[in-house]
Structure 1
Amino acid sequence: MSIYKRGETWWIQFKTPNGERIQQSAWTQVKEEAQELHDTLKAQAWREKNLGARPRHTWQEAVVRWLTEQSHKKSIETDKTRLRWLDQHLHDTKIDEITKTMVDAIKTAKQNEGVSNATINRTLAILRSILNKSKQEWEWIDSVPYIRMLPEPSMRVRWLSYIEADRLISELPDHLKAMVKFTLATGLRESNVTGLQWKQVDMIRRCAWVNADQAKGKKAIAVPLNSDSCEIIKEQFGKHETYVFTYKGNPVTRANNNAWEKALKRAGIEDFRWHDLRHTWASWHIQSGTPLNVLKELGGWSDLTMVMRYAHLSSEHLYEYAGNVSKKNTGTNLVLVKGLK
């Protein structure tokens, strides 16, 4: 069959005049849309073979190929949402017809929805990525219009005091309470806590680990377990055969949920996200004197750039140098020097 279903999604299959077998997802649950894409691709293959013309590709074709190549991304579902929004502006447009004027119009349309600059930039970034691949890798187009990103505010760092953290924990149901305590003890991201399995924990060596395919930076992370995190893990013994943290016998897929939001409200804590627990963990480390290079390793960051967000929270390591300009050390009376000016 030229089009067929796999689950809820339609797929395309045909042979080109050159004998090449084309088989790919149409990325749609609508049969008519799949048929339209099938006919378009088949006609283009004929023109390329018999007329020697360089095929012109539509935005929809580019999206299909990009999604196929990027299907491994953790954020692929979010990307699909942004691409669905872009589709209303670019669906049948030939990608060599996409100009800066069109890009600016898309940017304005998104701004009119009242969303943040960061949200707009994420949408523009996908548009730019697809156009760059169309030029550099697929050789579908000769040039890419300039896409100017909007300014974004400095990276936000929101953290809790120990008193605030205790207040929040007291309002949480037991399963979230355990995960929050564990996050504050280890600094792990939400997905690494909810997805933590017993095979990733060694209580004898007092350590855990995040596999490379689970880590944001695609590098395995060693997680030393302090006394707090060890106690939390011990409390989870016997609750599930595979996963460390569970709820009513089932793995927890999402910690940032309604129960979390309600607990924040009861605790009187505003403008706080689950990821801010990681900011809190890092901030507490810095305030307790943990060196930046050590925090970098503990947090699994690839370089010091991200860690420097927390550097301003501690200055103890600078005290010994601050005295270098003291008049007792330099023999200079700063009051007299000021009077001579």
Structure 2
Amino acid sequence: MALHYRKRGKVWHVRGKVRVGRQVFTLKERSTGCTLKAEAEAVGAAEEARIRAEALEGAVPRPRTISIGECIAAYCARPGGHHPFDEARLTELAAAMGATKLEEAPAAWGAWVRGRGRGLSPSTIARWRSSLKAALRYGADEFGVSAPSLRVVKEAESERIAYLTEALAARLLAAYNPWAAPVMLILCETGLRTQEALRLDWRCVDWARNVLLIEHAGAAGGARTKTKRSRRVGMRESVRCTLGALWEARGQPDAGPVFLNRWGRPYADTRRVGGNPLSKAHRTACRVAGVTSFRIHDWRHHFAVWFLKNGGNLRALCQIAGWSSMRMVQRYAVFEQSDLDDVMTRTAGTLNIRLVAGRHQNGPVPG
């Protein structure tokens, strides 16, 4: 009986059966971690020798020399590739802890959280942990070892109020430079994520139906959603006018990026290059407008709150903003106490009418 080799991506995998006397042992397909077949065959031969030794002499402890880098490499080379949001994170993690043994991953992860993770929000750290965990699980399964567990960084349950009054929002939008202003207005009026707006293509602007087409991450060209669901977002008059002016100024293109930076080039893909390219422009505008504690992503909070204040319903907001659950709406749509008081006043008006009607029908109402 012989072992069989096949290439999956750039890495060779081995599988087959090994006969020892009357016994036949099955070697499930696993990665050799090698890109050259000769090296893969050497790994296969060593694995076959280990199986024979275990069968003849009893179980021999398997050397635990698998590294985190090998797991990440196997994960990235697997059929179907990996999610584009993982690429930058896995590259950095491989550079930081790739040489570390797999069983030492929990300690390496703890050190990363205390160092590189310092200052990052718990939700951001959770995304890094998710990427690393997926790679370690896949690699451990490929090499036939157990995957270690990584400590979870729990996010504090807190509600953050992050929206502006209409006057303050208008003042901030007016303070942006000419390149950032159109993007920020779109964020304010549509609730798009920054990445979705910056990757918007003219092919995704449907003038006839007055909507923006936000495609899922696997679609070819155009904006990208964070989830794997495409959606349509209606264009308000301010959005249509802003995009219409850009479209006319560019010569009415049929395709190409909608937003360009000050040098006339498309904005960097923030899935691959860290940092928001609009951060500096946003900080400057906030300083000019006198706005504090308001981040670029807070325009999404601002949109959610004002959508509900103006009569929108939760289900519609969930679909327009591209949230997969109502739980996310609860995190974004947090109201000031004064707004809650106004809601109570308006609902009490309806109740008072009923009380007055009841007074005439059933006599005086106590209190």
**TM class by shorter-chain length?**
0.7 to 0.9
For 1:194, the equivalent position in structure 2 comes to 198
CA contact (8 A) 2:202 2:257 kept: yes
CA distance, structure 1, for counterparts of residue 208 and residue 8 of structure 2:
53
CA distance, structure 2, for counterparts of residue 72 and residue 124 of structure 1:
15
For 2:114, the equivalent position in structure 1 comes to 111
Secondary structure of the structure 2 residue equivalent to 1:185? helix
Change (3 A) 1:44 1:322: farther
Deviation at 1:220, TM superposition (A): 0.9
CA distance, structure 2, for counterparts of residue 193 and residue 151 of structure 1:
30
Secondary structure of the structure 1 residue equivalent to 2:303? helix
Secondary structure of the structure 2 residue equivalent to 1:174? coil
Instruction: Compute the TM-score of the two structures, normalised by the length of structure 1.
Output: 0.72
1:243 and 2:227 correspond: no
For 2:97, the equivalent position in structure 1 comes to 86
CA contact (8 A) 1:158 1:276 kept: yes
Deviation at 1:209, TM superposition (A): 0.9
Instruction: Give the partner amino acid of 2:97.
Output: L
Aligned 1:1-341 pairs, distance under 5 A: 18-21=4-7, 24=10, 43-52=42-51, 57-69=66-78, 70-87=81-98, 91-93=99-101, 95=102, 97-98=103-104, 103-104=106-107, 106-108=109-111, 110-111=113-114, 114-116=118-120, 118=122, 120-135=125-140, 137-138=141-142, 140-142=144-146, 144-153=147-156, 154=158, 156-213=160-217, 214-240=224-250, 241=253, 242-247=256-261, 249-253=264-268, 255-313=277-335, 316=343, 319=347, 323=351
Instruction: Give the partner amino acid of 2:92.
Output: T
Deviation at 1:105, TM superposition (A): 6.2
Instruction: Compute the TM-score of the two structures, normalised by the length of structure 2.
Output: 0.68
Deviation at 1:22, TM superposition (A): 7.1
Secondary structure of the structure 2 residue equivalent to 1:235? helix
Deviation at 1:24, TM superposition (A): 2.3
For 2:20, the equivalent position in structure 1 comes to none
Structure 1: segments with no counterpart, 5+ residues = 1-15, 26-34, 335-341
Change (3 A) 1:319 1:86: farther
Secondary structure of the structure 2 residue equivalent to 1:212? coil
CA contact (8 A) 1:183 1:278 kept: yes
Deviation at 1:221, TM superposition (A): 0.9
CA contact (8 A) 1:201 1:208 kept: yes
Q: Which stretch of the first structure deviates more once superposed, 304-313 or 276-285? A: 304-313
Identity %: 21
Instruction: Give the partner amino acid of 2:10.
Output: Q
CA distance, structure 2, for counterparts of residue 124 and residue 200 of structure 1:
33
CA contact (8 A) 1:48 1:55 kept: no
Structure 2: segments with no counterpart, 5+ residues = 12-32, 53-61, 218-223, 269-275
Deviation at 1:204, TM superposition (A): 2.4
Q: Which stretch of the first structure deviates more once superposed, 114-123 or 16-25? A: 16-25
Change (3 A) 1:259 1:120: closer
Secondary structure of the structure 1 residue equivalent to 2:232? strand
CA distance, structure 2, for counterparts of residue 233 and residue 305 of structure 1:
32
Higher RCO (C-alpha under 8 Å, 6+ residues apart): 2
CA distance, structure 1, for counterparts of residue 112 and residue 257 of structure 2:
44
Change (3 A) 1:120 1:174: closer
